[in-house]
Amino acid sequence: MIKPAVRIIAAVVAIGVVCCAAALIAAMHPSEEAKNATPERVPEEVRGARA
């Protein structure tokens, strides 16, 4: 009984780690469209109070 429970917990933790890593990678690498944005194309909420 203990070993199956430990395996399930380990699998859930491993899935969580993979998902967190994927989310961090996605957040750190903006899309090509975001990289090529010009001030005219950037939405007001992204520009904030600087404009």
pLDDT the model gives residue 7: 96
pLDDT the model gives residue 33: 63
Asked whether residue 42 is domain-assigned, the answer is no
Asked whether residue 51 is domain-assigned, the answer is no
Query: Residue 11: which H helix or E strand, with range?
Result: helix 2-28
pLDDT along the chain (51 residues), means of 10: 91 97 85 64 64 48
Asked whether residue 19 is domain-assigned, the answer is yes
pLDDT the model gives residue 32: 67
Asked whether residue 38 is domain-assigned, the answer is no
Number of domains in the chain: 1
pLDDT the model gives residue 10: 97
Asked whether residue 17 is domain-assigned, the answer is yes
Query: Residue 32: which H helix or E strand, with range?
Result: helix 32-35
Distance CA 3, CA 45 (A): 51
Asked whether residue 50 is domain-assigned, the answer is no
pLDDT the model gives residue 35: 64
Asked whether residue 49 is domain-assigned, the answer is no
Range of the domain at 20: 1-31
pLDDT the model gives residue 34: 63
Q: What is the dihedral angle through the alpha carbons of 6, 9, 15, 17, rounded to the nearest 10 degrees?
A: -100
pLDDT the model gives residue 13: 98
Asked whether residue 10 is domain-assigned, the answer is yes
